[in-house]
Structure 1
Amino acid sequence: MAVLNNYSVAVLGGGYAGITAAAELAAAGVKVSVFEAGKVLGGRARKVWLEGKSLDNGQHLVIGAYTELLCMMAKVGVDSKAVFLRRPMELVVEPGFRLACPSVPAPLHLALGLLFAQGLSWSERFALVRTVRAAQAAKWKLAQDVTVSCWLKDQRQPDGLISRFWQPLTVAALNTPLECASAQVLLNVLRDSLGGVRAASDLLLPRLDFSALYPDTAAQFIEQKGGQIYRSRRIRRVEKTQQGWQLNGEPEVFDAVICALPPHGLSALHVSEPDVLPVQLNSWTYQPIVTVYLQYDPAVKLAKPMLGLSDSLAQWVFDRGFTHQTDGLMAVVISAEGQHQAFTQDELAEAVVLELHQRLGLPMDISWQRVITEKRATFACIPGLERPANQTSEVGFWLAGDYTAGLAGKGDYPATLEGAVRSGMAAAQGVLEELDQ
């Protein structure tokens, strides 16, 4: 086996994919240098400081099925019991819908959860059970991928069930409207969560901001292993020479490069071997995520840490008093494209405050508001999307990101933290195998 500590690898991007790849390489003895263009780590799941408040640029839910994320967090020294509020799966969507999986062994937990779902008529309840059971029997595989809306129509799902269960679930999981979202990818998520072991469906609500949750600790792990973390360092040019790979024309030479930039950011990167950048990304479309932060009186509290709303602008409301010791601070999530894009920030915040007042009984008075928009938060997760592999046509140049297909070419996850971590691990594994040859 090669002496890996004789090798150096550059990782472009300090998001969840890049920091995972770097941590895996550092653990194997490779000298790693991470180049992050921003001031903080985390990429599209990072800490944002606004007017003295520590916030996130978006809300991301972790579930027990995110095994690789949890594994990497443990590897770099994160105590998941301390950083998450972990609860058995409970989806509460107003008005009146509740699906909870009890703490009993699988698959009984799912059967009981579906059978006793509240807020549905018996016909809606049996329609839900029938469709999930059919998906299980088919091993969560479709003969041909279609949109979620087409699949639900084929499954004869009632409109009320769609608005209270399938709509909020799909948009939360895939960040893509039902009319164009991939039904197969949705089934992949259900396979690993509701269709997995009981603990796989647990909801893990972060107690820390998304930079502190994992990337910051991973960065410390990398530095302890002799690696370097460079913040506010944007890489614009990558060139392959006889000695190796060079960045921005600087003299340092690397044996390999893992490009963990977001897919829409690759067009701004000049690589001397242009064929390594996937051309199919040029035709991709992207979906936004908007988070509306509202500061109420500290005495204001939701009944649950997370509540959903059907047929409304606001989709999910997170009470950060439960998790972040910021009483009265609500984070309202609006995923994917929609009518909210026509609003100004002030108009959107005002509309959301009114909705929360009418639907949840929250007061109209707030002391502070802020709207954070990630315009290209995720790729549009559409049926049959051709996703690039981690490995490129050039030895020593690899891709990492939630948009890739992975070493096995499956690419069966949407743009999630778990998808990013899996891709980072796959890229690191590929580089290690190349260096060992």
Structure 2
Amino acid sequence: MRQRANLAVPAKHIAVVGGGWAGCAAAVDLATAGCTVTLFEAARTLGGRARGVEVNGTMIDNGQHILLGAYTETMRLLRKVGVDPKAALLNLPLQMRYPPGSGGMDFVAPRLPAPFHMTVALLRATGLTIADKMSLARFSTTARWMGWQLHADCSVAELLERFDQTERLVQLMWRPLCLAALNTPPERASAQVFLAVLRDSLGAGRSASDMLLPRQQLSALFPQAAAAFIEKQNGAVHCGAKVTALSQESGKWRVDASGQAVGGNRSALFDAVVLAVPPPAAASLLASLPVDGIRDQLAAFAYEPITTCYLQYPAGLRLDLPFYALVDDPAAGHWGQFVFDRGQLDAGQDGLCSVVISASAEAADMGQAALAQAIAAQLAAVLQRPEMAAPQWTQVITEKRATFACTPSLQRLATTTGLDGLVLAGDYTASDYPATLESAVRSGAAAAKAISAPAAS
């Protein structure tokens, strides 16, 4: 008679260390699986590097984000915690549109079944020569034939050279897409990861390639709703509670935390821990544990900054589109790569524009005042709106370690650590995606599954 496999009972009490999108995703899935979750976040606000901040009485994000329709795990968890993606996100077709007369192009994928949406978009695109269009079609066809896979990784710049991409197409399409998606310049960005992004945008079904712009600040979009969900499932969420140490004790995990949220200092035992903090913080908490190889990998990451400049104009100022791509030309003082009209996303932010600079180390070195002035002048020039040279106020936010540098053949960490009951979550863990909200959410879901899944027979 066949013996039934012994199924492990899911761990009952789980600590999730880190309240960014990865930690919140793990906590939500663990709570759904019947675990009692305690979420610790050192900052006062959930969201990690994708959170809301208050400036001049206005709630803004520490960085402007665009999501894709292909972000299936993000959409699943938004719905799980009661957020309707259709209401919370402005849905736009895949596009790369520059202000008229700025030397760019206009490329918009119509809402047609794939792959016809891309074919029609290419035929209708303006600002590209026949050679540019043939170059783009050749790239898409060859990449699709290759299954969006390379035998050996290389830089995006090398990939584009292999595919004989025109200089103008590189400037107006591939470079800005690479910077926006990987936050790493093409000269040192991973071609394989770039192809994975293109697979789910240019090469995917029509709805998967849609561009989704948050209508509300990022903490409210998911982390705050996740916290309410966790608490409704009898869990606890502690902001302003910094975890200072992890240790194993009698088959469980002791978590030491400090801060007003936990009453000064607290030490408690948990059945398992999800470590969902950035690599430097994770390495510090793992310092006394037998995971030397993991600590070495965590220490090996390099980072790229992202700068977002907010410019407040009088109420009523509108751009013709919710967002534009911008031709960045540092030599001309043009640092901005994309500009967003926040008033078209949130009526409470009328007249507010946000300008994004990815891989922004050089721009950030200018200083906030000089950079904001340069960006305002750039907007006034390329949008042909002289009044935009004089905003009412500006705020420059630079996230110095916004993402890891997504370089060729980068070794990323597994979710499991080799220690029972301790798993990692974060956009830096193994994935074919770069450091995006989707990769963070996927990692959180994977960490939750690793803890709550039944043991093998």
The normalised TM-score by structure 2 is 0.91
Give 5+ residue unaligned stretches, structure 1: 406-410
1:417-428 aligned within 5 A: 417-428=437-448
Counterpart pick for 2:374 among 326, 335, 351: 351
1:328-371 Cα deviation digits (max 9, x unpaired): 10000000045313301000000001111111123222111110
* Count of residues paired in the alignment: 431
Whether 1:82 and 2:87 are equivalent positions in the alignment is: yes
Residues 194, 200 of structure 1: 8 Å contact kept? no
Residue matched to 1:266: 282
Structure 1 stretch displaced more, 418-427 or 196-205? 196-205
Whether 1:148 and 2:129 are equivalent positions in the alignment is: no
Residues 364, 398 of structure 2: 8 Å contact kept? no
Residues 39, 231 of structure 1: 8 Å contact kept? yes
Residues 240, 272 of structure 1: 8 Å contact kept? no
Matched position secondary structure for 2:310: strand
Residue matched to 1:283: 300
d(CA) in 1 for partners of 2:346, 2:290: 44
Counterpart pick for 1:416 among 432, 436, 444: 436
1:61-89 Cα deviation digits (max 9, x unpaired): 01101011001111111111111111222
Matched position secondary structure for 2:170: helix
Whether 1:306 and 2:318 are equivalent positions in the alignment is: no
- The AA in structure 2 aligned to 1:327 is D
Residues 94, 201 of structure 2: 8 Å contact kept? no
Residues 238, 271 of structure 1: 8 Å contact kept? no
Residue matched to 2:263: none
% identity of equivalent residues: 45
Residue matched to 1:378: 403
Residue matched to 1:408: none
Matched position secondary structure for 1:151: helix
1:27-46 aligned within 5 A: 27-46=32-51
Residue matched to 1:397: 422
Q: 4+ residue stretches of structure 1 with deviation over 4 A? A: 434-437
Matched position secondary structure for 1:248: strand
d(CA) in 2 for partners of 1:2, 1:386: 31
Counterpart pick for 1:107 among 82, 96, 115: 115
Residue matched to 2:342: 320
Matched position secondary structure for 1:235: strand
1:238-253 aligned within 5 A: 238-248=246-256, 250-253=266-269
d(CA) in 2 for partners of 1:2, 1:111: 51
Structure 1 residue 262: deviation in Å?
1.1
Residue matched to 1:52: 57
Cα 1:222/1:126, change in 2 over 3 Å = same
- The AA in structure 2 aligned to 1:421 is V
Matched position secondary structure for 2:317: coil
Whether 1:202 and 2:210 are equivalent positions in the alignment is: yes
Structure 1 stretch displaced more, 297-306 or 368-377? 297-306
Counterpart pick for 2:30 among 25, 34, 53: 25
Residues 287, 295 of structure 2: 8 Å contact kept? no
Residues 11, 260 of structure 1: 8 Å contact kept? yes
d(CA) in 1 for partners of 2:345, 2:45: 21
d(CA) in 2 for partners of 1:311, 1:87: 23
Structure 1 residue 327: deviation in Å?
1.4
- The AA in structure 1 aligned to 2:324 is L
